[in-house]
Structure formats: C-alpha cells, structure tokens
Chains A and B, each alone.
Chain A
Amino acid sequence: MTHFNRRQALGLFGAATFASAMPVAFAEGMADRTFIFVLARGAMDGLSALIPADTSLERFRPGLIGSAPQSLPLGNGFSLHPALSTLKSWFDAGDAAFVHAAASPYRGRSHFDGQDVVEILGAADSRDGWLNRALGVSGQAGLAIGYSVPLALRGRAPATNWAPAVFEAADDDLMSRLETLYADDPVFSEPLDLARSMGTPDVDMGRRGGGPGRAYTQSMKAVGELMARSGGPGVAMVSLDGWDSHASQTGFLNGRFQGLDAGFAALKDALGAHWENTCVVLCSEFGRTVAENGTRGTDHGTGGLVILAGGAVRGGTVLGDWPGVSQRALYEGRDLAPANDLTSILKGLLRDHLGIDRSALDSRVFQNDSRPMDGLIV
C-alpha cells in the first residue's frame, strides 16, 4: 500500500482528486463519474415500492393491498408506489431501473448482522467496507452524509463524513496546536488531518425536524450539493434509517416514500450536469415477508428491492430474475426468494460505471468470483 500525505492527496473540497497518486488500473475518462450508494437501513418493504401484478400478493396481503392507494403502472407487470412519481417519470425517461428479489449472501434476519454483510461484502475475515475497497481501486475520494463514516466506507482508502455545522469553525492556530497535541494519537490525528483538508462546506438543509421522510430528502440534497462542487468527491454513501415497518405500515411507508422520492428529485437538481454521469444504487440489508403480519406490517425477510437511478443507468426496465410470489416460490415459505445476487449487481455497476476491471473486482473489492450483472449502465 502506497503511503501518501492525506492532506495533500485528498483535496475533497478543494483541489483535484488524487487519482494520479494511485498506482492502479483506473480507466481513462472515468474520473468524472459519480457513484452514490444509498443504504435504506431497517429493511425497506420492496413489495410496497415496486408492486408485482399478481393475485398471490393480494392473498398474502389482504389488509395492506386493500388500504393501499392506487399505484403507478410501469406497463411490464409491475407498478410503483404512488408516492414514487419522480422515479416513475425517470423510469419512463430511461433514468431509473429496478432489480427485485435481490439479496446479499446473508440468510439470517438480523438487521445488524445483515447490514454488516451488505456493507462489507468481502472475504469472511474482511473488516473494511466494499465501497472503501472500491475507492482504493478507482482512486476517487469518498464521502458519507451523517455524523460518522459508515462501515461500507471504512478502510484504508481516505473517506470522510459530513453533517451540517452548528457552531462557528475553529481557527487555524487552534487546529495547529491540536495537531501537535494529537501527534502520538492516530485515533484523533487522522480525522483531524482529514477535517482540515475538507474544510467546512456549508449546505442549507432548510428547516429542521419533520420525521424520517424529510431527513431522507435533506440527506439526498446535501450529497448532491457536495458532490457537485469543484473537486467534490466522486463516490458517496447515504444512510436512510428507519424502514423497519412491523406495524401499520401503509401510512408509515407513505411518508418515507414521499421523502425518498423528493430526495431523488433534489439530488438530480443539485447535481445539475453531473446527473448524466451519475449512478445511484439503493438497497436494504434484506427484504420483508411477503405476507402481512398480524399488525398490518411485515417482518424481516430475504429478497429485497434494488433501485438504480441516474443519467448513466440503463433505465426503463426491471432487470434480473423475478421469482414470483406464489406460495411455492417463497424462500422458507415466507420471503421473496433471493433470485439476484447483490454482489453481482454492484460488480456490474462498478465495472461499467467506474471502470474497475473484473480481476480487481474479484480479487480486491468483493473478494469472490461471482459474475458481474450485465446491462445496468448505458
């Protein structure tokens, strides 16, 4: 691993990216590509977002289907939740696509273990995140929206986080003194170094409060604004928490889908011309049960929904295999079957969008030899 001065190398919000410092296979012309990984934590109910026209589903979800508002047909046997009107228009315009019944290798039903697997996606003893390992290859800078760097972005490649400021920034003299004070303590000196190189970008997050849906919109807007800046990071991660819909999920999901959809719209708006070179991929740690539970919600399941959006995405289709929701098609008799491998999807995106070659994907990023999914990127 080449060592370099992080402050000089990581011009996250100032100078150029540090691609030239990285001795790796990095395809020409990919440097301006923008890649955003969105993790919907808590397990989004994909079957409420992208709804198959299937009478079995109506039998499994009599209470939920009955209370659901009219969905938006895509003309291919699926329809979208009515709150996802931006995604619907992008689907029609070729800027959004979906993979249903996708899953990581994890087959338990713990949120926390499931999220760890989706964020690591590597060899069994791997402790850093796949997105960080991808940065190590692509040579781009990574950014997370939030108060800490999530596992997927943690590792040896430089990555940082951003959250809106509350107080006045510290002066340079104080920062230099702290640098001296932290000389022997890398737990503090490394983040301080990154903080100094990052500066304190300001993004207007608007009014505070308003629940998870509003927070989704704000996070998506912020990531777009920060990435669109000159020298902004090429790769980012956004965590959208709070999808665990165990009870009364109709109203619960409606607000969240509204916030998510508005977030997608705000993201495109903020990215401006970068949108054409952008790929956003959204997934959860797993899906939810096909049948509603006893409290008009759904429990932890297996196959989940992947949403792809951006000008770089080959939109307008539902990709991958569709296992169906008849009783015998279900995984362990209860969950949407894991028909599409999440790693393959991400490999397809990283290969075709960021230009990371197959051998680097297999050996370094995901540490397995599963086949990249084709046809996701224009």
Chain B
Amino acid sequence: MRAHILWLTVGMAAVTFLPRFIPLALFTRWALPEGIKRALHFMPTAIMAAIVFPILLSTQKGHLAFEPRLLLSALLVFAVAWRTKNLWASVVLGMLVYWLLGFAFA
C-alpha cells in the first residue's frame, strides 16, 4: 500500500468514525434532554427522505429535472415496498425493472 493512500485512508477513517462515535459515546452516558429526544423522533424519516429525493430529482437552472427511467423504477419500488414490506424482493424487483426500462428508454 502506497504511503499517500495509507494517509488518505487513515484521514478518511478518522473523519468518518468521529461523527459516528462522538454522539453515541456522549449520549449513551448522559441522556439527552426529553425535548431533544422527542425532536429526534422524526429524524430517521427526515434523513432518509433527504438522502433519497436528491438522487431522483435535481434542479438545473432553477428547473426541476428527472430521468423518467429512474423515477418510474423508484415509484414502483416505493409502491411494492409499501404494500409488501418485503425489502429484498423490492430491491431485486426494482433492479429488474430498471434494467428492462433501459431497453425502453434506450
């Protein structure tokens, strides 16, 4: 392993580990105030939505842009996951449909 890649990896590991570790180390010892705990209730939903939407939609020059193939596959996965709650089947079906739509939108 080359030295500069080793240092890059060590640096990346540090700035990845610390934001993961510091809140866990602190708040498993000193409980968060009740108000903040309540405020964090919707955090998983909010974080996942904030990650997902920009993958599917983007703004370019002030206009909303999207790729039909990606958006259609995404809506299907959403619907199937919602109805079945079966995650792995939804992921596999989504990949299959995205692949097939590739022929339609080619």
Do A and B actually bind? no
Chain B interface (Cβ < 8 Å from any Cβ of A): none
